[in-house]
Amino acid sequence: YRASKASASVLVSLCSVAGEPAFLYTLRSSEMRGMHKGDVSFPGGKCDSSDRDLVHTALRETHEELGVQVMEESVWGVMKPVPAMGGMVIVPVIANLGLLESLTLKPSTTEIEVVFTVPLPHLCTERNQ
């Protein structure tokens, strides 16, 4: 799916928080223009003509939004494209960011209001499914 005809990709960001696996999410700025303002999301966005492929799109967008450089070696895989609102097709790219405590996040204030994590065990609890 790496060379899919998708129009965007997101980085499904796994990390470790106090030794526990977690997903890293963003809350998009409510000041943004467009249909995704105020949404909880993974970092990501539309493909640029300069992007080599959808993995590069996800890594570039993550750097722009969170100020963190994720290396391609941290990518675990690319998932099946997902249809989204407005006819867009989004490709999820899974990557391990490592220890959250060792990352220096510098969220873009024009795009991101909050960065937060949700522990994987919390998501696996039956009442949260």
pLDDT (tens digit, 9 = 90+) per residue, 31-73?
766 666 778 999 999 999 999 999 999 999 999 999 999 999 9
- The letter for the amino acid at 55 is V
Sort 85 into a burial class: Cβ within 10 Å, 0-12 / 13-18 / 19+: exposed
Q: What pTM does this model have?
A: 0.89
pLDDT exceeds 70 at position 14: yes
- The letter for the amino acid at 117 is T
Residues 71-87 have a mean pLDDT of 91
pLDDT (tens digit, 9 = 90+) per residue, 95-120?
999 999 999 999 999 999 999 999 99
Alpha helices in the chain (DSSP H): 54-66, 120-124
Sort 50 into a burial class: Cβ within 10 Å, 0-12 / 13-18 / 19+: exposed
Cα–Cα dist 112/121, whole Å: 25
pLDDT exceeds 70 at position 4: no
Per-residue model confidence (pLDDT) at position 36: 67
